[in-house]
Amino acid sequence: QDVDDLIRRLPKTELHLHIEGTLEPEMMFALAQRNGISLPYASVEALRAAYDFSNLQSFLDLYYAGAGVLQTRQDFYELTRAYLQRAHADNVVHVEIFFDPQTHTARGIPFATVLDGIRDALDEAGCTWGMSSRLILSFLRHLSEDEGFATLAEALPHLDRIDGFGLDSSELGHPPSKFAMLFARCHELGKPCVAHAGEEGPPEYVWEALELLKVCRIDHGVRSLEDPALVKRLAEGAVPLTVCPLSNVRLKVVDDLARHNLRQLLQAGLKAMVNSDDPAYFGGYLNANLLACRQSLDLSADEVVTLVNNSFEASWLPDVDKQRWL
């Protein structure tokens, strides 16, 4: 299939990826053993069988529990290195990845341990493959804004190694407005901001992310089509939507990939693209997401190129570097 070859061959970028969501069951078991942690699953197969989610929260419960095996700088390095190897194999040349420091500092793991390990692998991928990267500190929205401020205080000594800020975790009941002051502070620090919105939450949350958090991208945003005024705003502002198709299917945001609104988003003039979100939990990395969309939605070569170009354009690469890939 020509389009499938195109998908594999094209240089690509990934803009919506949670590094904790790349923890494969095999590595979870290996790290649990190395760190003397017992997992409530008998085997890798039993763990994988538990990846049968009914919504975002049922996934998050497992995702936060799984991250408990990550303890040392070496653990975070190995996790990130394994992801970057898979991304490189998919011809991904640039990544902008999220990390959730609160998931780890709440367990007594120092902020610097997490950051140093992830950065070791990102720097190595830059040296080895010329892969460029950005690292996005994502706040957990089920926690309070004060806890977000405490995390930001821990990040301050490391701001030279943090490229932007994000907002993730349980969306319903935790609107962007809850974090308006925190994101205002993030902007004062001169960093770009993004937020998950319109995954399970209503279009109103996308509006809040734009107007109150002043984000430069919306993570997911697939529910935006429910509000024509919002579609107009996103189109006029050329606001990128980092859509994650396999995630949407596995978390029951859409009932079937064949009914995903990816094409409708593009046809509405929105800067949508494809990303992998938490690939170890959702059944595939970037190429797998694009290939599944090609198959279920019969994506054309032009649509694939548009999705990939939208992703480079939405990235935080300087214009000269974008030109290399567009």
Shortest distance in whole angstroms from residue 294 CB to ligand HPA: 22
What is the contact surface with ligand HPA in residues (CB under 6 A)? 18, 21, 56, 168-169, 196, 199, 247, 277-278
Tell me if 227 is assigned to a ligand binding site.
Answer: no
Give the nearer residue to ligand HPA in terms of CB position, either 93 or 166: 166
Q: Which two structure tokens, joined as six digits, stand for 242? A: 């980092």
Q: Which of 199, 200, 208, 303 is catalytic?
A: 199
Distance of alpha carbon 183 from alpha carbon 166, whole angstroms:
9
Of the two residues 3 and 265, which places its CB atom closer to Zn ion in the complex? 265
CA atoms lying within 13 Å on the CB side of residue 7: 24
The least CB distance from residue 323 to ligand HPA, in Å, is 31
Stretch that binds Zn ion, among 35-43, 172-180, 207-215, 271-279 (CB under 5 A): 271-279
Distances 103 to 123, 148, 155, 264 between C-alpha atoms, Å: 23, 12, 14, 35
Partner from Zn ion, ligand HPA, none binding residue 199, C-beta < 5-8 Å depending on class: ligand HPA
The answer to whether 277 is annotated as binding is: yes
Under 8 Å between Cβ of 138 and 179: no
Tokens read off for 214: 């002043």
Q: What angle do CA 178, 183, 185 make, to 5 degrees?
A: 125
- 114: tokens are 């997490």
Residue 163 marked in a binding site = no
Question: Is 146 annotated among the ligand-binding residues?
Answer: no
Closest CA to 220 of 236, 238, 200: 200
- Quick one: 73 or 223, whose CB is closer to Zn ion? 223
208 part of the active site: no
From 60, 277, 288, 290, residue interacting with Zn ion (rule: CB under 5 A) = 277
21 vs 317, beta carbon nearer ligand HPA: 21
Taking residue 190's Cβ as centre, other Cβ atoms within 10 Å add up to: 7
Partner from Zn ion, ligand HPA, none contacting 90, C-beta within 5 to 8 A by type = none
Q: Around Cβ 109, how many Cβ atoms within 10 Å?
A: 21
Pairwise CA distance, residues 166 & 30, whole Å: 30
Residue numbers belonging to the annotated binding site = 16, 18, 196, 277-278
The residues assigned a catalytic role are 199
Report the interface residues with Zn ion, using CB under 5 A.
277
